[in-house]
Protein backbone atom coordinates (compact mmCIF):
# COMPACT_ATOMS: atom_id res chain seq x y z
CA UNK A 1 0.00 0.00 0.00
CA UNK A 2 1.09 3.58 -0.61
CA UNK A 3 0.26 6.67 1.44
CA UNK A 4 0.59 9.92 -0.51
CA UNK A 5 1.13 13.03 1.59
CA UNK A 6 1.71 16.74 1.08
CA UNK A 7 4.47 17.54 3.59
CA UNK A 8 6.98 15.94 5.93
CA UNK A 9 4.98 15.45 9.18
CA UNK A 10 1.64 14.68 7.46
CA UNK A 11 2.49 10.97 7.51
CA UNK A 12 2.76 11.16 11.31
CA UNK A 13 -0.45 13.10 11.94
CA UNK A 14 -2.65 11.25 9.44
CA UNK A 15 -2.78 7.46 9.42
CA UNK A 16 0.52 6.85 11.19
CA UNK A 17 -0.89 4.11 13.40
CA UNK A 18 -2.28 2.33 10.36
CA UNK A 19 1.06 2.46 8.58
CA UNK A 20 2.87 1.19 11.66
CA UNK A 21 0.41 -1.67 12.10
CA UNK A 22 0.64 -2.90 8.50
CA UNK A 23 4.41 -2.51 8.45
CA UNK A 24 4.70 -4.48 11.71
CA UNK A 25 2.49 -7.20 10.23
CA UNK A 26 4.91 -7.55 7.33
CA UNK A 27 3.16 -5.71 4.52
CA UNK A 28 5.03 -3.41 2.19
CA UNK A 29 4.09 0.13 3.18
CA UNK A 30 5.28 3.04 1.03
CA UNK A 31 5.11 6.76 1.74
CA UNK A 32 5.32 9.39 -0.98
CA UNK A 33 5.87 13.01 0.09
CA UNK A 34 5.08 15.61 -2.56
CA UNK A 35 6.73 18.74 -1.13
CA UNK A 36 9.92 19.75 0.63
CA UNK A 37 8.11 21.40 3.56
CA UNK A 38 10.17 24.55 3.11
CA UNK A 39 7.33 26.91 4.02
CA UNK A 40 6.46 25.18 7.27
CA UNK A 41 6.06 27.36 10.33
CA UNK A 42 8.33 26.49 13.25
CA UNK A 43 5.88 25.71 16.04
CA UNK A 44 8.30 24.46 18.67
CA UNK A 45 9.21 27.47 20.85
CA UNK A 46 12.54 25.87 21.73
CA UNK A 47 13.59 25.93 18.06
CA UNK A 48 11.97 29.12 16.81
CA UNK A 49 15.09 31.25 17.11
CA UNK A 50 17.73 28.75 16.01
CA UNK A 51 19.36 30.30 12.91
CA UNK A 52 20.63 26.96 11.57
CA UNK A 53 17.09 25.61 11.59
CA UNK A 54 15.62 28.65 9.87
CA UNK A 55 18.31 28.65 7.19
CA UNK A 56 18.20 24.91 6.52
CA UNK A 57 14.56 24.06 7.16
CA UNK A 58 14.20 21.73 4.17
CA UNK A 59 17.16 19.60 5.24
CA UNK A 60 16.09 19.69 8.89
CA UNK A 61 12.64 18.44 7.96
CA UNK A 62 14.12 15.65 5.84
CA UNK A 63 15.94 14.44 8.92
CA UNK A 64 12.80 14.67 11.03
CA UNK A 65 10.87 12.67 8.44
CA UNK A 66 13.55 9.98 8.30
CA UNK A 67 13.34 9.55 12.08
CA UNK A 68 9.54 9.43 12.05
CA UNK A 69 9.50 6.77 9.34
CA UNK A 70 12.10 4.76 11.25
CA UNK A 71 9.88 4.80 14.32
CA UNK A 72 6.87 3.71 12.27
CA UNK A 73 8.81 0.89 10.62
CA UNK A 74 8.38 2.30 7.12
CA UNK A 75 11.46 1.81 4.94
CA UNK A 76 9.97 2.61 1.52
CA UNK A 77 9.90 6.40 1.03
CA UNK A 78 9.71 8.54 -2.09
CA UNK A 79 10.68 12.19 -1.70
CA UNK A 80 9.28 14.10 -4.68
CA UNK A 81 10.48 17.45 -3.35
CA UNK A 82 8.31 20.04 -5.09
CA UNK A 83 8.52 23.47 -3.41
CA UNK A 84 6.07 23.87 -0.55
CA UNK A 85 3.19 26.18 -1.53
CA UNK A 86 2.72 27.54 1.98
CA UNK A 87 -0.49 27.88 3.95
CA UNK A 88 -3.02 30.49 2.83
CA UNK A 89 -5.92 31.21 5.16
CA UNK A 90 -9.31 30.72 3.49
CA UNK A 91 -7.61 29.53 0.30
CA UNK A 92 -10.15 29.56 -2.54
CA UNK A 93 -8.16 27.75 -5.21
CA UNK A 94 -6.58 30.85 -6.77
CA UNK A 95 -3.02 29.78 -7.49
CA UNK A 96 -2.02 33.30 -8.52
CA UNK A 97 -1.51 34.19 -4.85
CA UNK A 98 1.22 31.53 -4.67
CA UNK A 99 4.70 31.34 -6.20
CA UNK A 100 4.84 30.10 -9.78
CA UNK A 101 7.10 27.14 -9.00
CA UNK A 102 5.27 25.81 -5.93
CA UNK A 103 3.61 22.41 -5.89
CA UNK A 104 0.11 23.83 -6.35
CA UNK A 105 1.19 25.53 -9.60
CA UNK A 106 3.47 22.82 -11.00
CA UNK A 107 1.98 21.54 -14.29
CA UNK A 108 0.23 18.23 -13.76
CA UNK A 109 2.30 16.72 -16.57
CA UNK A 110 5.43 17.33 -14.48
CA UNK A 111 3.81 15.72 -11.45
CA UNK A 112 2.75 12.65 -13.41
CA UNK A 113 6.21 12.29 -14.92
CA UNK A 114 7.59 11.88 -11.39
CA UNK A 115 4.84 9.84 -9.75
CA UNK A 116 3.55 7.42 -12.39
CA UNK A 117 6.86 5.51 -12.70
CA UNK A 118 6.90 5.06 -8.90
CA UNK A 119 3.38 3.63 -8.85
CA UNK A 120 4.16 1.27 -11.72
CA UNK A 121 7.38 0.14 -10.10
CA UNK A 122 5.96 -0.46 -6.61
CA UNK A 123 2.54 -1.73 -7.81
CA UNK A 124 0.53 -0.88 -4.67
CA UNK A 125 -2.87 -2.51 -4.35
CA UNK A 126 -4.08 0.34 -2.15
CA UNK A 127 -3.53 4.10 -2.36
CA UNK A 128 -4.32 6.41 0.57
CA UNK A 129 -4.56 10.17 0.15
CA UNK A 130 -6.77 13.18 1.04
CA UNK A 131 -10.31 14.01 -0.05
CA UNK A 132 -11.32 16.77 -2.46
CA UNK A 133 -10.91 19.42 0.24
CA UNK A 134 -7.46 18.13 1.13
CA UNK A 135 -8.75 17.26 4.60
CA UNK A 136 -8.58 21.02 5.15
CA UNK A 137 -8.08 23.70 2.49
CA UNK A 138 -4.29 23.95 2.39
CA UNK A 139 -3.09 24.42 -1.21
CA UNK A 140 -0.70 21.47 -1.01
CA UNK A 141 -3.30 19.15 0.49
CA UNK A 142 -5.80 20.00 -2.23
CA UNK A 143 -3.09 19.48 -4.84
CA UNK A 144 -2.12 16.18 -3.25
CA UNK A 145 -5.67 14.96 -3.84
CA UNK A 146 -5.79 16.01 -7.49
CA UNK A 147 -2.26 14.78 -8.16
CA UNK A 148 -2.89 11.39 -6.57
CA UNK A 149 -6.11 10.82 -8.48
CA UNK A 150 -4.51 11.87 -11.76
CA UNK A 151 -1.51 9.60 -11.14
CA UNK A 152 -3.77 6.67 -10.20
CA UNK A 153 -5.59 6.98 -13.53
CA UNK A 154 -2.50 7.69 -15.62
CA UNK A 155 -0.56 4.76 -14.16
CA UNK A 156 -3.35 2.46 -15.36
CA UNK A 157 -3.27 3.83 -18.92
CA UNK A 158 -0.89 1.76 -21.07
CA UNK A 159 -0.68 4.58 -23.63
CA UNK A 160 0.66 7.03 -21.04
CA UNK A 161 4.45 6.96 -20.61
CA UNK A 162 4.88 3.40 -21.87
CA UNK A 163 8.59 3.78 -21.19
CA UNK A 164 7.78 3.95 -17.45
CA UNK A 165 6.82 0.28 -17.32
CA UNK A 166 3.67 -1.83 -17.57
CA UNK A 167 0.41 -0.13 -16.64
CA UNK A 168 -0.78 -0.65 -13.07
CA UNK A 169 -4.12 0.19 -11.48
CA UNK A 170 -4.38 0.18 -7.70
CA UNK A 171 -7.52 -1.72 -6.76
CA UNK A 172 -8.61 0.59 -3.94
CA UNK A 173 -8.24 4.29 -3.18
CA UNK A 174 -8.94 5.64 0.30
CA UNK A 175 -9.24 9.14 1.71
CA UNK A 176 -7.88 9.94 5.14
CA UNK A 177 -10.60 10.79 7.69
CA UNK A 178 -8.29 11.82 10.51
CA UNK A 179 -10.27 14.46 12.37
CA UNK A 180 -13.87 13.29 12.47
CA UNK A 181 -16.76 14.62 14.52
CA UNK A 182 -17.25 11.14 15.96
CA UNK A 183 -13.66 10.96 17.13
CA UNK A 184 -13.54 14.45 18.61
CA UNK A 185 -16.84 14.19 20.48
CA UNK A 186 -16.02 10.79 21.98
CA UNK A 187 -12.63 11.99 23.20
CA UNK A 188 -14.11 15.25 24.47
CA UNK A 189 -16.76 13.41 26.49
CA UNK A 190 -14.18 11.17 28.14
CA UNK A 191 -11.90 14.11 28.92
CA UNK A 192 -14.81 15.78 30.71
CA UNK A 193 -15.51 12.61 32.71
CA UNK A 194 -11.87 12.38 33.79
CA UNK A 195 -11.45 16.10 34.42
CA UNK A 196 -8.76 16.43 31.76
CA UNK A 197 -8.27 19.66 29.85
CA UNK A 198 -9.31 18.96 26.27
CA UNK A 199 -8.18 20.70 23.09
CA UNK A 200 -11.36 19.73 21.25
CA UNK A 201 -14.15 21.93 22.67
CA UNK A 202 -13.68 24.97 20.43
CA UNK A 203 -13.11 22.72 17.43
CA UNK A 204 -16.36 20.84 18.07
CA UNK A 205 -18.35 24.04 18.63
CA UNK A 206 -17.30 25.31 15.21
CA UNK A 207 -17.93 22.03 13.40
CA UNK A 208 -20.18 22.00 10.33
CA UNK A 209 -22.35 19.01 11.21
CA UNK A 210 -24.26 19.27 7.93
CA UNK A 211 -21.27 17.82 6.06
CA UNK A 212 -21.46 14.03 5.98
CA UNK A 213 -18.23 12.26 6.96
CA UNK A 214 -18.94 8.95 5.22
CA UNK A 215 -16.51 6.80 7.18
CA UNK A 216 -16.33 3.36 5.55
CA UNK A 217 -13.27 1.87 7.21
CA UNK A 218 -11.85 1.97 10.72
CA UNK A 219 -8.49 0.40 11.55
CA UNK A 220 -7.74 -0.62 15.14
CA UNK A 221 -4.43 1.01 16.04
CA UNK A 222 -4.75 0.76 19.82
CA UNK A 223 -1.30 -0.84 20.07
CA UNK A 224 0.26 1.98 18.05
CA UNK A 225 -1.19 5.14 19.62
CA UNK A 226 1.98 5.80 21.62
CA UNK A 227 4.21 5.13 18.63
CA UNK A 228 2.11 7.52 16.56
CA UNK A 229 2.79 10.24 19.11
CA UNK A 230 6.51 9.50 19.08
CA UNK A 231 6.58 9.81 15.29
CA UNK A 232 4.82 13.16 15.43
CA UNK A 233 7.21 14.42 18.10
CA UNK A 234 10.09 13.48 15.79
CA UNK A 235 9.00 16.44 13.66
CA UNK A 236 10.48 18.75 16.25
CA UNK A 237 10.12 21.93 14.22
CA UNK A 238 6.45 21.31 13.47
CA UNK A 239 4.94 20.57 16.87
CA UNK A 240 4.99 22.13 20.29
CA UNK A 241 5.66 19.16 22.61
CA UNK A 242 3.53 20.87 25.27
CA UNK A 243 0.76 21.82 22.84
CA UNK A 244 -2.74 20.58 22.11
CA UNK A 245 -1.62 17.55 20.11
CA UNK A 246 -0.34 15.93 23.28
CA UNK A 247 -2.79 17.02 25.98
CA UNK A 248 -4.92 13.89 25.80
CA UNK A 249 -3.14 10.84 27.30
CA UNK A 250 -2.34 7.98 24.94
CA UNK A 251 -4.03 5.43 27.18
CA UNK A 252 -7.28 7.41 27.05
CA UNK A 253 -7.14 7.57 23.26
CA UNK A 254 -6.34 3.86 22.94
CA UNK A 255 -9.29 2.99 25.16
CA UNK A 256 -11.93 5.41 23.88
CA UNK A 257 -11.06 5.85 20.21
CA UNK A 258 -8.53 3.23 19.12
CA UNK A 259 -9.30 3.61 15.41
CA UNK A 260 -8.03 5.54 12.43
CA UNK A 261 -10.77 6.25 9.94
CA UNK A 262 -10.87 6.25 6.15
CA UNK A 263 -13.37 6.61 3.33
CA UNK A 264 -13.24 4.14 0.47
CA UNK A 265 -13.39 6.43 -2.56
CA UNK A 266 -12.85 3.93 -5.37
CA UNK A 267 -12.73 0.16 -5.46
CA UNK A 268 -12.37 -2.50 -8.11
CA UNK A 269 -13.69 -5.11 -5.68
CA UNK A 270 -16.88 -5.48 -3.68
CA UNK A 271 -16.54 -5.36 0.10
CA UNK A 272 -18.83 -5.47 3.10
CA UNK A 273 -18.96 -2.20 5.00
CA UNK A 274 -17.94 -1.05 7.46
CA UNK A 275 -14.46 -2.43 6.80
CA UNK A 276 -11.75 -3.09 9.36
CA UNK A 277 -8.95 -3.77 6.85
CA UNK A 278 -7.66 -1.65 3.96
CA UNK A 279 -7.04 -4.88 2.04
CA UNK A 280 -10.65 -6.07 2.48
CA UNK A 281 -11.90 -7.80 -0.66
CA UNK A 282 -8.44 -8.15 -2.18
CA UNK A 283 -6.50 -11.34 -2.77
CA UNK A 284 -3.39 -10.82 -0.69
CA UNK A 285 -0.93 -13.21 0.83
CA UNK A 286 -0.95 -12.58 4.55
CA UNK A 287 2.61 -12.25 5.89
**pLDDT tens string 50-69:** 889 989 999 999 999 999 99
Pick from 144, 128, 182: which is nearest to 34 by CA? 144
Residue 262 lies in a domain: yes
Is 243's pLDDT higher than 90? no
Share of the chain above pLDDT 70, in %: 99
> Which pLDDT tens digit goes with each residue over 67-98?
999 999 999 999 999 999 999 988 989 999 99
Residue 280 lies in a domain: no
Can you give the residue range of the structural domain that contains 238? 2-179+214-267
Can you tell me the mean pLDDT for 126-132? Answer: 97
Positive or negative torsion for Cα 116, 172, 73, 18:
positive
Residue 28 lies in a domain: yes
> Which pLDDT tens digit goes with each residue over 8-33?
999 999 999 999 999 999 999 999 99
- Which CATH number characterizes residue 223's domain? 3.40.50.10320
Residue 190 lies in a domain: no
What strands lie across the sheet with 259-267, from one edge to the other?
Answer: 76-82, 30-35, 2-5, 126-129, 172-176, 259-267, 217-220
Region of residue 11 (phi > 0: left; psi between -120 and 50: alpha; otherwise: beta)? alpha
DSSP string for residues in 59-86 = HHHHHHHHHHHHHHT--EEEEEEEPP--
Residue 29 lies in a domain: yes
- Per-residue confidence band for 287, with pLDDT thresholds at 50, 70 and 90: low
The CA–CA distances, whole Å, from 42 to 39, 50, 237 equal: 9, 10, 5
Question: What pLDDT does 131 receive?
Answer: 95
Mean pLDDT for all residues in the chain:
95
Residue 124 lies in a domain: yes
Residue 244 lies in a domain: yes
Residue 76 lies in a domain: yes
What's the number of domains the chain is made of? 1
Question: What pLDDT does 198 receive?
Answer: 86
Pick from 207, 214, 248, 209: which is nearest to 228 by CA? 248
Is 286's pLDDT higher than 70? no
pTM over 0.85: yes
Amino acid sequence: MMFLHAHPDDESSKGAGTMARYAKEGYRVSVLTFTDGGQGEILNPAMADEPDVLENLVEVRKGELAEALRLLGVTDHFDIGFPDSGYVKDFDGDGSVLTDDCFYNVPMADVLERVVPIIRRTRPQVLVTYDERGGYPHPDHIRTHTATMAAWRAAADPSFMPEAGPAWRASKVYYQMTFTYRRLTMLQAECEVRGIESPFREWIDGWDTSRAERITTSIDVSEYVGLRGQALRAHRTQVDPTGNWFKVPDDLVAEIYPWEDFRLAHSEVATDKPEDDLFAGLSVTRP
